[in-house]
Amino acid sequence: MAQIQRRHTAQITIAGVRVGGDAPVVVQSMTNTDTADVTGTAKQCADLARAGSELVRVTVNNEDAARAVPHIVDTLMLWGIRVPIIGDFHYNGHLLLKKFPACARALAKYRINPGNVSIGRKDDDNFRAMIEVAVENQKPVRIGVNWGSLDQALLTRMMDENGRLPEAERKDAREVTMEAMVESALRSAAMAERYGLRHDQIILSAKVSGVQDLIDVYRQLASRCDYPLHLGLTEAGMGAKGVVASTAALSVLLQEGIGDTIRVSLTPEPNGDRTEEVLVAQQILQSLGIRNFSPQVTACPGCGRTTSTFFQELAADIQGYLRKQMPAWREQYAGVESMSVAVMGCVVNGPGESKHANIGISLPGTFEEPVAPVFVDGRKVTILRGDRIAEEFMAILNEYVESHYAPRTEMAGSA
Ligand code: SF4
């Protein structure tokens, strides 16, 4: 794994999942179902958890949603899915948490947006009410600032103060906005502690939608506190744009040791698969060498030397096969997630790259002899030919997993 010096933070525990301190960087996600729909939301929470989301957040935006939360949590328990469910509150969280104590108890953590919890008020009674419920139920809280809903009173005050500075010292509006986000998070955290929450029950986030802005704001936040930080580029967008922008922003920060839990906020295609955001988050961490989640397939991009699509199909089949097997393999075999597999298109880089992987196959390029040497831990072990190459390669993969990774039951028995 990569040697990255993580920033020192307090550690909080969310229904058994540790975040910050020496805990691994945790992957989280959020549902997009109507929370009032118990079965639909529980099903999506289960899908996200099975995909590897270690925390799942649901919006709690009205009374029906608050009423549904305990039933969602019970349904997941019934299905044998253990994943902490976090409530996302805006505007009316103080009312909902007070009126629906079963919801307050069932949630593992509350997300509070300090920019809209006390809108139109001069006091902080609403914020205080939410913290008091958290203290009463001993629940951790994420104070989640978002620049789309930044505390306007605080921003205006800081803009005014900046405007009164001598011209040479004046900052531009972007800088003041970033500072206001940090201030909003830190002041709210200090207030939460004053109202009784422990220091190690607080996570902070300050999400923006620009990559450079996100990097700046998190560097500032990281340098000014030791609360664990939740990272995410808000409204990252759809498809390649969302994946690349999130990866760019999160990678810089994670490489600097900043970030204790992450979410990739992708906009799915209509009826698209919500679990994609979990896979992308895992892939970011695995690509950086921070955590292993799934065996990695190294596949060459193909070129004029591979005029057939055979090797692309094989690479996709193997990736799909690994993804399908992983939930069971992860339970059965210790360390299988660190396995590497290479599927290469021709003789130029095929044998070399295959030798670097745990298992590699070098397919024949155009005009090459129709044979596919297979390498296991750097040694050529066999040559596949004919039209059952895919099946035979997968059989070798299975055999490798069974013979190279210790069954978890044995490990538990010998511990
Ligand atoms: S390994 Fe062969 S087929 Fe793949 S990109 Fe390189 S030269 Fe092209």
Question: pLDDT tens across 117-154, in order?
Answer: 876 677 789 999 999 999 999 999 999 999 888 988 89
Q: What percent of the chain has pLDDT over 70?
A: 98
How does residue 415 score in pLDDT terms, banded at 50, 70 and 90?
very low
Question: What is the model's pLDDT at position 413?
Answer: 46
Question: What is the model's pLDDT at position 147?
Answer: 87
Question: What is the model's pLDDT at position 11?
Answer: 98
pLDDT at 203 over 70: yes
In the numeric block, which tokens belong to residue 110? 């509350």
Using CB atoms within 10 Å of the CB of residue 304, give its burial: 0 to 12 exposed, 13 to 18 middle, 19+ buried. exposed
Please say whether the beta carbons of 203 and 164 come within 8 A: no
pLDDT at 412 over 60: no
Question: Residue 350 CA: which ligand 1 atom is closest?
Answer: 1
Question: What is the model's pLDDT at position 19?
Answer: 98
In the numeric block, which tokens belong to residue 395? 């059989």
Give, using CA atoms, the residue closest to atom 5 of ligand 1: 302
Ligand 1 within 6 A of CB of 364: no
pLDDT at 375 over 60: yes
Instruction: Please give the mean pLDDT across all residues of the chain.
Output: 92
pLDDT at 414 over 50: no
**Residue 294 alpha carbon to ligand 1 centre in Å:** 24
In the predicted model, what is the mean pLDDT of residues 252-256? 98
What is the crossing angle of helices 38-51 and 63-78, to 10°?
50
Full-model pTM? 0.91
- Chain segment 332-356, per-residue pLDDT in tens: 999 998 999 998 888 888 899 999 9
The better pLDDT of the pair 309, 164 is held by 164
Pocket test for ligand 1, best of 348, 353, 362, 366 (most atoms within 8 A of CB): 348
**Residue 390 alpha carbon to ligand 1 centre in Å:** 19
Comparing CA positions, the residue from 256, 182, 174 lying closest to residue 213 is 174
Q: What percent of the chain has pLDDT over 90?
A: 74
- As a whole number of angstroms, the distance between CA 88 and CA 187 comes to 20
pLDDT at 186 over 70: yes
**Residue 336 alpha carbon to ligand 1 centre in Å:** 27
Please say whether the beta carbons of 235 and 209 come within 8 A: yes
Please say whether the beta carbons of 162 and 156 come within 8 A: no
Of 70-79, 83-92, 250-259, 361-370, least confident by mean pLDDT is 361-370
Ligand 1 within 6 A of CB of 13: no
Ligand 1 within 6 A of CB of 363: no
Question: What is the model's pLDDT at position 320?
Answer: 84
- As a whole number of angstroms, the distance between CA 136 and CA 292 comes to 37
- Chain segment 13-72, per-residue pLDDT in tens: 999 999 999 999 999 999 999 999 999 999 999 999 999 999 999 999 999 999 999 999
Give, using CA atoms, the residue closest to atom 1 of ligand 1: 349
pLDDT at 298 over 60: yes
Ligand 1 within 6 A of CB of 288: no
